[in-house]
């Protein structure tokens, strides 16, 4: 029975070797859409395990689950890479309100930002100073800010089609807002959620104190976009409006966690590595289905789809499920550090960390010559409505692997709804579309297949591609 199975797989592999690239991609997409595993894996990761913040029980369970599932795929090697990660806990649910007059309050939706300290046990109540940026903060100065709560209210720019540009244009107020406000003696910080729509959901995310002494650190929280609009309106009507908030978060000692790694060994160039991955950790408000459960299961399915499609890679293909992307990037840094120490040659690395929506294409961090090579493959993706091939960023976890000659890439799904869910309590499994998720896995697998077949070669290989 075993010999019959081996013979069948050999026949499939030989058949793939004689197929055109277009036919191989067709096989990959068919396998993913009719026999995919990504949706089932995500169902378990989201609904049976849930949120996976670094250092949490959920993260520990996710490591064990994904390692076991990769072992079930029959890869050549599966292992855990230890990494020390921060452990921040939210504590009891945060509470906040706007006070327009003594005894007259409006409750609002807030959440502590990741890494923030707690408020005093009885909370903080103070007058509010609204600003759009750090320049406005500096103009106001210490006399206007001392003892008050700074309210950062710069919205994401709605007219930018690439929503990550809108996010990048205002996320500094979340990340550095407390540091900047503390310079002027602020009592605390409230930040408008990074969200393009108006709703009642506060969105968390990482913040920093840099080198600020412990006794100068101030609590920092996000407020929903609806409540940010309300607070801004009330401040215009009454400059003496006060804000109250209470949160109980705490930073604990670092704990050990793991990157989860699986590998198919290359048949011709085993010392050339192609990496595909996503981050296993997630914020604690939802179950992290889009950020980044989708990228995790898509990356896992890349290796399964290669095997199921009868593709025997020339180069070693690794899936890496990184730990601690959200609040430290320790997993990505640790993987790159050990890889460099071992002298490993990563010719290509692909990350999925932009949600599980319909794939549109990729952005590439590479030389012009390598990008021209990629553009030669673009017609192969046209039947699947994959059209976005642009130079740009790749991913936070694969970024540390960058060299002068390799290619890094990021999967780019349609992003218009992504920030509705990003770091919020509605980042849940019900927001995932099975077909969109599977299309993403197939798209990633197809690009990995092409890089494995042709390598990173600045010489045009258009003539070698049988459309």
Angle made by CA atoms 325, 330, 334, in degrees to the nearest 5: 125
Q: What's the Cα-to-Cα distance from 359 to each of 301, 385, 437, 441, rounded to whole Å?
A: 15, 8, 8, 9
Cα(285)–Cα(111) distance, rounded to whole angstroms? Answer: 9
- Tell me the two tokens of residue 100: 């327009």
What is the edge-to-edge ordering of all strands in the sheet holding 388-391? Answer: 77-89, 250-264, 315-322, 269-279, 345-351, 407-413, 359-365, 388-391
Cα(329)–Cα(310) distance, rounded to whole angstroms? Answer: 35
Helix (H) or strand (E) holding 14: helix 2-17
How many CA atoms are closer than 13 Å to the CA of 275, on its beta-carbon side? 31
- Tell me the two tokens of residue 431: 């927001």
For residue 241, which of 177, 151, 178 has the smallest C-alpha distance? 151
| Catalytic site includes residue 351 | no
For residue 413, the tally of other CB atoms under 10 A from its CB is 26
For residue 33, the tally of other CB atoms under 10 A from its CB is 14
Considering 325, 326, 351, 438, which one is annotated as catalytic? Answer: 325
Cα(178)–Cα(115) distance, rounded to whole angstroms? Answer: 11
Q: Using an 8 Å Cβ cutoff, are 202 and 222 in contact?
A: yes
Phi, psi of 260 (to 5 degrees): -105, 125
Phi, psi of 225 (to 5 degrees): -65, -40
Cα(120)–Cα(420) distance, rounded to whole angstroms? Answer: 31
For residue 126, which of 107, 148, 142, 99 has the smallest C-alpha distance? 148
Catalytically active residues are: 325
């Amino acid at each position: 029975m075993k010999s019959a199975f081996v013979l069948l797989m050999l026949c499939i592999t030989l058949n793939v070797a004689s197929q055109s690239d277009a036919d191989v991609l067709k096989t990959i997409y068919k396998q993913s859409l009719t026999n995919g595993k990504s949706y089932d894996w995500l169902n378990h990761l989201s609904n049976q395990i849930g949120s996976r913040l670094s250092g949490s029980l959920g993260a520990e369970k996710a490591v064990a689950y994904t390692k076991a599932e990769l072992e079930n795929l029959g890869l050549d090697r599966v292992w855990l890479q230890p990494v020390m990660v921060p452990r921040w806990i939210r504590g009891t649910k945060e509470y906040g309100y706007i006070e327009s007059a003594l005894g007259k309050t409006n409750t609002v939706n807030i959440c502590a930002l990741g890494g923030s300290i707690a408020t005093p046990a009885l909370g903080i109540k103070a007058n509010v100073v609204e600003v759009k940026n750090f320049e406005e903060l500096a103009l106001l100065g210490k006399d206007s800010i001392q003892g008050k709560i700074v309210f950062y209210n710069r919205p994401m720019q709605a007219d930018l089609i690439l929503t990550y540009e809108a996010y990048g244009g205002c996320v500094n107020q979340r990340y550095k807002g407390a540091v900047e406000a503390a310079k002027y003696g602020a009592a605390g910080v409230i930040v408008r959620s990074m969200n393009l729509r108006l709703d009642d959901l506060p969105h968390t995310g990482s913040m920093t104190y840099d080198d600020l002494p412990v006794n100068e650190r101030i609590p920092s929280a996000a407020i929903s976009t609806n409540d940010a609009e309300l607070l801004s309106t009330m401040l215009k009507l009454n400059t003496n409006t006060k804000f109250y908030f209470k949160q109980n978060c705490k930073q604990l000692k670092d704990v050990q966690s793991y990157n989860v790694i699986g590998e198919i060994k290359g048949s011709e160039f085993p010392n050339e590595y192609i990496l595909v991955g996503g981050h296993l950790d997630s914020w604690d408000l939802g179950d992290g289905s889009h950020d980044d459960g989708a990228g995790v299961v898509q990356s896992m399915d890349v290796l399964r789809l290669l095997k199921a499609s009868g593709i025997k890679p020339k180069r070693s293909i690794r899936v890496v499920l990184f730990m601690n992307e959200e609040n430290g990037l320790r997993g990505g840094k640790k993987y790159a550090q050990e890889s460099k120490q071992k002298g490993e040659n990563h010719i290509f690395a692909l990350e999925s960390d932009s949600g599980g929506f319909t794939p549109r294409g990729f952005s590439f961090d590479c030389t012009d010559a390598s990008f021209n090579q990629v553009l030669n493959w673009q017609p192969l993706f046209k039947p699947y409505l994959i059209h976005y091939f642009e130079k740009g960023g790749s991913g936070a976890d694969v970024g540390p692997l960058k060299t002068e000659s390799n290619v890094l890439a990021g999967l780019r799904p349609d992003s218009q709804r992504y920030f509705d869910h990003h770091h919020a309590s509605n980042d849940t499994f019900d927001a995932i579309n099975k077909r969109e998720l599977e299309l993403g896995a197939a798209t990633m697998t197809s690009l990995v297949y092409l890089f494995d077949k042709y390598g990173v070669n600045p010489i045009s290989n258009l003539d070698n591609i049988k459309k």
